[in-house]
């Protein structure tokens, strides 16, 4: 399967989802600061930063660089925060030297995009490489149990002057959750396809990459990670 994210996170994505909630981004950063040390004199990486909403919130507390593959999303990030450094790169090959960051965050399910788990392992190994010893990695992911319990197979909504239809499904092998997006009046459709990792699978991947899980929560209010919560957020350090 071709890499869907290279086509989707562009101008069309921005047209349909022009602005995510900056208040939510601030709440995530508050959660991070309550769980792990965020040093004013440290260096942080917002991995898969998109249009930079988490980068901006984190940069209020520590020096932060945002990294993403999408030129269109990075253009928005730069326009809204021109004094924050942004880098265009693939998360499977981070363009940084080893041991440069004290903190790496990967937020709002910006992981699990690839067609093989080996590629997802490469991402975690790259994060480990660019972190200092005992550096902190925060992985904020969807909660697979909650996705299965609450998945809406089909909906249609108005976005501006357009009608957008979204069809969702879990693949037959149970390994991916997919969303197909169609816009009325257009022949083009877009696909989102994310690995449906169980929390224990994520724990194993993190351990394999040399991380120790210190805390895990199920929402941005630090609720417990259980089947009723929407998130599977792990606070780890590099061993």
CATH code where residue 80 lies: 3.40.50.150
Q: Are residues 33 and 134 in the same domain?
A: yes
Q: Are residues 123 and 17 in the same domain?
A: yes
User: 104: domain range?
Assistant: 5-142+198-238
pLDDT of 18 reads 59
Count of C-beta atoms within a 10 Å radius of residue 129: 17
Q: Are residues 79 and 163 in the same domain?
A: no
CB 12, CB 188: distance < 8 Å: yes
Q: Are residues 168 and 183 in the same domain?
A: yes
pLDDT band at 184 (very low <50, low <70, confident <90, very high): confident
pLDDT of 20 reads 65
Question: Please, which residues bridge with residue 193 across strands?
Answer: 178
pLDDT of 164 reads 87
pLDDT of 1 reads 46
Domain boundary at 155, 176, 192, which?
192
Look over the chain and give the mean of its residue pLDDT values, rounded to a whole number. Answer: 93
Mark 78-107 as b/e (b = at least 16 C-beta within 10 Å). Answer: beebeebebeeeebeebebeeeebbbbbbb
Q: Are residues 183 and 233 in the same domain?
A: no
The residue-averaged pLDDT of 130-135 equals 97
Residues 52 and 189: their CA atoms lie apart, in Å, by: 25
Q: Are residues 219 and 161 in the same domain?
A: no
Q: Smallest Cα–Cα separation from 92: which of 172, 3, 167?
A: 3
Q: Are residues 81 and 180 in the same domain?
A: no
pLDDT of 21 reads 73
Q: Are residues 165 and 78 in the same domain?
A: no
Which range is least confidently modeled, 3-7, 64-68, 103-107? 3-7
Q: Are residues 206 and 175 in the same domain?
A: no
Q: Total domain count for the chain?
A: 2
The residue-averaged pLDDT of 163-176 equals 94
Domain boundary at 174, 192, 210, which?
192
- Residue 231 DSSP label: E
Q: Smallest Cα–Cα separation from 85: which of 41, 110, 49?
A: 49
Determine the Cα angle at 79 with ends 76 and 83, to 5°. Answer: 125
Q: Are residues 187 and 115 in the same domain?
A: no
Q: Are residues 166 and 228 in the same domain?
A: no
Q: Are residues 136 and 225 in the same domain?
A: yes
Which range is least confidently modeled, 15-19, 162-166, 227-231? 15-19
- Residues 136-146 have pLDDT tens digits of 999 999 999 99
């Amino acid at each position: 399967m071709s890499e869907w994210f290279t086509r989707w996170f562009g101008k069309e994505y921005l047209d349909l989802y022009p602005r995510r909630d900056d208040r939510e981004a601030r709440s995530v950063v508050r959660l991070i600061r309550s769980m792990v040390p965020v040093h004013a004199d440290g260096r942080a990486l917002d991995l898969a930063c998109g249009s930079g909403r988490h980068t901006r919130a984190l940069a209020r507390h520590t020096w932060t660089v945002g990294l993403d593959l999408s030129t269109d999303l990075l253009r928005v990030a730069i326009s809204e925060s021109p004094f924050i450094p942004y880098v265009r790169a693939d998360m499977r090959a981070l363009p940084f030297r080893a041991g440069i960051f004290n903190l790496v965050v990967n937020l709002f399910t910006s992981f699990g995009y690839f067609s093989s788990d080996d590629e997802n392992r490469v991402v975690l190994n790259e994060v480990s490489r660019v972190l200092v010893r005992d550096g902190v990695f925060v992985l904020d992911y969807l909660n697979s149990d909650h996705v299965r319990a609450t998945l809406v197979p089909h909906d249609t909504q108005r976005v501006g002057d357009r009608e957008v239809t979204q069809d969702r499904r879990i693949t037959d092998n149970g390994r991916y959750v997919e969303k197909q997006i169609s816009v009325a009046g257009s022949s083009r459709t877009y696909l989102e396809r994310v690995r449906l990792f169980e929390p224990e699978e994520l724990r194993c991947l993190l351990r394999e990459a040399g991380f120790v899980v210190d805390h895990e929560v199920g929402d941005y209010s630090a609720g417990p990670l259980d089947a009723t919560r929407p998130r599977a957020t792990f606070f780890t350090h590099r061993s």
